[in-house]
Amino acid sequence: MSETLKAVSSAGTSIWLDDLSRERLITGGKSRNLELLVETESVVGVTTNPAIFSAAISQSSLYADDIRSLSQGGHGAESIITELTTADVAQACDLLMPVYQRTAGVDGRVSIEVDPRFARDTQKTIEQARDLWQKVDRPNVLIKVPATIEGLPAIRTLIAEGISVNVTIIFSVKRYQEVLEAFIAGLEDRAKKSLPVSNIHSVASFFISRVDTEIDARLKSIEGSTNTQILGRAAIANAHLAYEHFEAVMTSARWQSLESLGASIQRPLWASTGVKDPAYDETQYVIELIAPLTVNTMPEPTLIAVRDRGTFRGNTIAGNYSSARAIIASLTDHGIDIEEVAEKLEREGIDKFIKPWLELIAAVEAAAHQ
């Protein structure tokens, strides 16, 4: 097992794989087996999204028989997709159950996302999250809910109902603060009814690389700009400031009251950690985001890069808050509003998941009639 990956894990950053397919769940498939990654690469969790499932189902022959059988049984394309994806997630949950048990429910988690077309519909998000929770029926599943304005009340409701949630598509500290507030309010709602809070776990998926992609393009477009030293640094600074808020909440009397009841804090999860710009260190969105009680979910190429070329430097978040604020302030000086960037990326992020989801529906419809 890689010493660098072990060091990252020992420093408090859990390593999750941002990928899942039937190829990952069998021995001898086209992709490295998930069980092998757990044993050799310190992987302790899995995240999925509509794009991941679209690629998995469209590109593997392992789903063909089930698609035909379900179609013959009267299932439409969307129902078939639900059956396929929840089955894969349930199998991954079973595979990771020893990790879940060893870590007292903190890790060993597998995420499945609500239909991205519901991102602006609170009630439909709640209803499908409930359905997915019941259908997967595993204690270590996380239901992914977008951190849209409409998603915030859904998060509070689901947490209050005892459903563990992965909140996704977070791009700004302001929205992250609202997400953590919704999580805590949901636990408080539950506690007021004298219901247990110790069995609920949650992560908040804060996106990284897309922030730099957007901001770098804007910085490079500013005529005469010489402030190139902040290229590729905004996303990490943004995440550092989110963690600063996390630390403040952790020490608050409000949280400590819930913690005394057995509650577990919603951990920051660094998502979109594959570097998009080849000029940058391919490990930077892992190595620069190490701190206790965090998760980093990464595609396998990033995992391999960290294993083979990553230089572990311990906690790389604590003590960097002043420099992070200076970087964000420099963006403002250049006319770049981080909140406006986040709003744009949220809209694009939803669209980027809707498109492959619609493509998957079309592909399953076609396969069902072959």
Q: What is the mean pLDDT of the chain?
A: 96
Task: Round to whole Å and give the CA distance between 164 and 204.
Answer: 11
Domain limits for position 208 = 3-368
Extended beta strands in 172-328, E state: 202-207, 267-271, 294-298
Task: Say which residues have a Cβ less than 8 Å from residue 344's Cβ, sequence separation at least 6.
Answer: 214
pLDDT of residue 2: 82
pLDDT of residue 224: 64
- Catalytic residue (choose from 144, 276, 344, 352): 144
Q: How confident is the model at residue 30 (pLDDT cuts 50, 70, 90)?
A: confident
Report the pLDDT averaged over residues 206-229. 87
User: pLDDT for 63-104, tens place per residue?
Assistant: 999 999 999 999 999 999 999 999 999 999 999 999 999 999
Task: Round to whole Å and give the CA distance between 157 and 97.
Answer: 26
User: pLDDT for 301-332, tens place per residue?
Assistant: 999 999 999 999 999 999 999 999 999 999 99
Q: How confident is the model at residue 227 (pLDDT cuts 50, 70, 90)?
A: low
pLDDT of residue 29: 78
Report the pLDDT averaged over residues 342-349. 98
Report the pLDDT averaged over residues 199-206. 97
User: pLDDT for 54-70, tens place per residue?
Assistant: 999 999 999 999 999 99
Task: Round to whole Å and give the CA distance between 185 and 218.
Answer: 37
CB atoms under 10 Å from CB of 276, counted, come to 14
User: pLDDT for 148-197, tens place per residue?
Assistant: 999 999 999 999 999 999 999 999 999 999 999 999 999 999 999 999 99
- CATH number reported for the structural domain that contains residue 191 in this entry: 3.20.20.70
Active site residue 144: yes
pLDDT of residue 193: 97
Count of domains in the chain? 1
Question: Is 44 strand, coil or helix?
Answer: strand
Q: What is the DSSP string of 131-185?
A: HHHHHH--TTEEEEEE-STTHHHHHHHHHHTT--EEEEEE-SHHHHHHHHHHHHH
Q: What share of the chain in percent tops pLDDT 70?
A: 98
pLDDT of residue 177: 98
Q: Kind of pairing, strands 141-146 and 109-113?
A: parallel
pLDDT of residue 223: 67
Using a 10 angstrom Cβ sphere, with 0-12 exposed, 13-18 middle and 19 or more buried, the burial of residue 2 is middle
User: pLDDT for 107-138, tens place per residue?
Assistant: 999 999 999 999 999 999 999 999 999 999 99
